[in-house]
Amino acid sequence: MTTWLVTGGAGFIGGNFVLEAVAKGIRIINLDALTYAGNLKTLDSLEGNPDHLFVHGDIGDRGLVASLLAEHRPDAVLNFAAESHVDRSIDGPGAFIQTNVVGTLGLLEAVRDYWKTLPADKADAFRLLHVSTDEVYGTLGETGRFTETTPYAPNSPYSASKAASDHLVRAFHHTYGLPVLTTNCSNNYGPYHFPEKLIPLIIAKALAGESLPVYGDGKQVRDWLFVADHCEAIRTVLAKGRVGQTYNVGGNSEKQNIEVVQAICALLDARRPRADGRSRTEQITYVTDRPGHDRRYAIDASKLKDELGWEPKHSFEQGIGFTVDWYLDNQQWVNGVLDGSYRLQRIGTDA
């Protein structure tokens, strides 16, 4: 049976990935520190499943990671664990350096030491896949798209910490021969997304009748990737990617933030009309922009398509419809993850 060590598997993308992988017959060792962003409720359906072992711990705890590797002998390690929210990195960059840089280094050292002990056939087949972001490339003007050769130019403490982790992963391949793969993806959306991020935040606030905060003029452009498409891309890169390579993953769905908010309002108006019958677009409020807000990200994912045959299966319209329905059907999950420390308030203003 194939075994993967997944880090950050109680978070948004890692959680979706773990649920799908276990359903596909993979045994998962799930290492997660359960920060505010980690939610075991996402994994409720795996309770009692012998193919899923949850371990509460830090990726930077080299001794813990080494013992998990020695005991479970995984065929691959997939690193999703990170501090992931740009606004939080503005308020407190230190945690981002600690997990995304120092933590990733600890993980890499433990994985390298384990990999060196493997018999030749298992060492050849072993992979470490590091999940990263398109934000490492900086910001774009009206035209152009990020390719795998775009120079790194991270603008936020979050993207700078992810860029550093990508460089460490690359260095462990070049220096020690560790068989690594890196994926740089655009903005994910879908089920189990912590409600501080744009799409689940807007759904929650729209349903609560609150104002819908749109940063600046709302014309910042992001490419939106449905999380199930992303998980499939990661499995594809893991299975077929060339060792030492990086692959961009995108959704072919560039949207202005204001267009995303308007789409959510239209879907909610149709599915759950407001008592007064008016549109939720009336709740939209423009607020001060995020400091240093990148204007546009766009991904060229043709390497992944041409080399490995992966393309996103969901259009934005399909994915956002599914996502809105999921949040309407899973209000209990949303309420359960909103503990006392985060209640949809604005952060990251540098005020």
Binding site for ligand NAD (CB under 6 A): 7-8, 10-14, 31-35, 37-38, 58-60, 80-84, 99, 103, 131, 133, 162, 185, 187-188, 194
Enclosing H/E stretch for 329: helix 316-329
Least distance in angstroms from the C-beta of 115 to ligand NAD: 20
Given the residues 135, 229, 232, 254, the one annotated as active site: 135
Order of strands, sheet of 3-7, starting from the edge strand that comes earlier in the sequence? 52-56, 27-32, 3-7, 76-79, 127-133, 180-185, 246-249
Cβ-based nearer residue to ligand NAD, 150 or 187: 187
Distances (CA, A) of 90 to 6, 185, 343: 27, 21, 18
Contact status, residue 333 vs residue 323, Cβ threshold 8 Å: no
Least distance in angstroms from the C-beta of 13 to ligand NAD: 4
Q: Is 71 a catalytic residue?
A: no
DSSP string, 14-48: HHHHHHHHHHTT-EEEEEE---TT--GGGGGGGTT
Cβ-based nearer residue to ligand NAD, 241 or 283: 241
Least distance in angstroms from the C-beta of 279 to ligand NAD: 27
Is the C-alpha dihedral spanning 13, 15, 21, 24 positive or negative?
negative
Residue 13 and residue 226: Cα distance in Å, rounded?
10
Cβ-based nearer residue to ligand NAD, 136 or 283: 136
Least distance in angstroms from the C-beta of 23 to ligand NAD: 18
Question: Any idea what DSSP says for residue 344?
Answer: S
Given the residues 87, 134, 196, 229, the one annotated as active site: 134
311 contacts: CB under 8 Å, gap ≥ 6: 252, 301, 305
Least distance in angstroms from the C-beta of 44 to ligand NAD: 15
Cβ-based nearer residue to ligand NAD, 40 or 207: 40
Q: Is 75 a catalytic residue?
A: no
Cβ-based nearer residue to ligand NAD, 37 or 169: 37
Contact status, residue 74 vs residue 29, Cβ threshold 8 Å: yes
Q: Is 215 a catalytic residue?
A: no
Question: Any idea what DSSP says for residue 296?
Answer: B
| φ, ψ of residue 187 in degrees (nearest 5) | -65, 120
Given the residues 114, 137, 158, 297, the one annotated as active site: 158
Active-site positions read 134-135, 158
